[in-house]
Structure 1
Amino acid sequence: MSEWKDLVFLLSDLLQGQLASIEVLPGGLEEWEGIEVPPEAEKPSSRFPFVLVEGNLGIPKKVLYAVYMAAVNIPWRSSDARAANAATSIIILLNPAHQTALNHRKHLIRDGQLDAAKELLFTEHSARGSPEFGKQSMIWDHRRWCFGQIYGIIGSAVRVPYLMHWASSDEAQIFPRMNPSAIQHELDILEKTCEAYPRNYHGWSHWHLMINICFASIHLSEDSATKRRFFGIIEQAYTRLGSWVERHVGDYSAMHQRCLTQTLIEHLTRIELFTTDIANTNTLTVFALADHAESLVIAYPAHESVWMYLRVSMARLSPESRAEIRERVRNRSVSQRNFHLRLFEDWCSRPRGNTIHEEV
Structure 2
Amino acid sequence: MTDASVSTCFRSLTSLLLKPPATIEVLPGDASIWIPDVEERSRSPFLFTENNLGVPEKELRRSYLFAVPVFSAARKASEFHTLEDPSNHIMSSAIQDLIDSSAVLILMNPAHQTALNARKQLIVRNLIDMGEELKFTAALLSSRHCCKQGELWYHRQWLLRRIYPVPSFPQGLITDMIPDSPNFYLPPNDLSAEIHLVSRACELYPRNYFGWTHRTICILSALVSGRSAASCSGLSLTSPTTVLFITLKHSQRLTEDAESPLLPDRLHLVFGHALTLVRAFPEHETLWQYLRVFWDESDVATAFVTSFVLPLQSPRMTEQESESPSGVQHACRFLEWRNQRLK
Q: What TM-score bracket applies, with the shorter chain setting the length?
A: 0.7 to 0.9
Q: Which of 261, 271, 275 does residue 290 from structure 1 map onto?
A: 271
**3-state secondary structure, aligned to 1:24:** strand
Partner of 1:155: 167
**Length-normalised TM-score, structure 1:** 0.71
**Length-normalised TM-score, structure 2:** 0.74
**3-state secondary structure, aligned to 1:45:** helix
Return closer, same or farther for 1:108/1:150 CA change in 2, 3 Å cut-off: same
Contact 1:92–1:98 at 8 Å: present in 2 too? yes
Measured after TM superposition, the shift of residue 9 of structure 1 is 3.2
CA separation in 2, counterparts of 1:134 and 1:170? 23
Q: Does 1:84 align with 2:98?
A: yes
Measured after TM superposition, the shift of residue 6 of structure 1 is 4.3
Contact 1:32–1:44 at 8 Å: present in 2 too? no
Q: Does 1:132 align with 2:166?
A: no
Matches within 5 A, 1:67-106: 67-76=63-72, 77-79=75-77, 80-106=94-120
CA separation in 1, counterparts of 2:161 and 2:302? 47
Partner of 2:30: 28
Measured after TM superposition, the shift of residue 160 of structure 1 is 5.6
Matches within 5 A, 1:275-286: 284-285=266-267
Measured after TM superposition, the shift of residue 170 of structure 1 is 9.3
Between 289-298 and 131-140, report the one with greater CA deviation.
289-298
Cα shift readout 1:271-326 (whole Å, capped 9, x = no counterpart): 689998xxxx97721x4333333343344433323322222332xx4xx44x9736
For these two proteins, the number of residue pairs brought into alignment is: 307
CA separation in 2, counterparts of 1:189 and 1:31? 30
Cα shift readout 1:180-213 (whole Å, capped 9, x = no counterpart): 3322222222222223222422212111122111
Return closer, same or farther for 1:34/1:300 CA change in 2, 3 Å cut-off: closer
Return closer, same or farther for 1:173/1:262 CA change in 2, 3 Å cut-off: closer
Return closer, same or farther for 1:65/1:179 CA change in 2, 3 Å cut-off: same
CA separation in 1, counterparts of 2:182 and 2:280? 42
Q: Does 1:261 align with 2:245?
A: yes
Contact 1:159–1:169 at 8 Å: present in 2 too? no
Return closer, same or farther for 1:275/1:29 CA change in 2, 3 Å cut-off: farther
Return closer, same or farther for 1:135/1:169 CA change in 2, 3 Å cut-off: closer
CA separation in 1, counterparts of 2:161 and 2:127? 17
Measured after TM superposition, the shift of residue 240 of structure 1 is 2.1
CA separation in 2, counterparts of 1:55 and 1:327? 50
Give unmatched runs, 5+ long, in structure 2: 78-93, 316-327
CA separation in 1, counterparts of 2:223 and 2:103? 34
Give unmatched runs, 5+ long, in structure 1: 37-42, 242-256, 354-360
Measured after TM superposition, the shift of residue 172 of structure 1 is 8.7
Partner of 1:210: 218
Matches within 5 A, 1:134-283: 134-151=147-164, 153-156=165-168, 158-159=169-170, 167-168=175-176, 174-216=182-224, 219=225, 221=226, 228-233=229-234, 236=235, 238-241=237-240, 260-266=244-250
Contact 2:182–2:217 at 8 Å: present in 1 too? no
Q: Which has the larger radius of gyration?
A: 2
**3-state secondary structure, aligned to 2:166:** coil
Measured after TM superposition, the shift of residue 148 of structure 1 is 2.2
Measured after TM superposition, the shift of residue 149 of structure 1 is 2.5
Cα shift readout 1:150-172 (whole Å, capped 9, x = no counterpart): 33x2112x31655xxx5439969
Cα shift readout 1:110-153 (whole Å, capped 9, x = no counterpart): 2333222211111112222x1122232221111111122233x2
Partner of 2:57: 61
Measured after TM superposition, the shift of residue 265 of structure 1 is 4.7
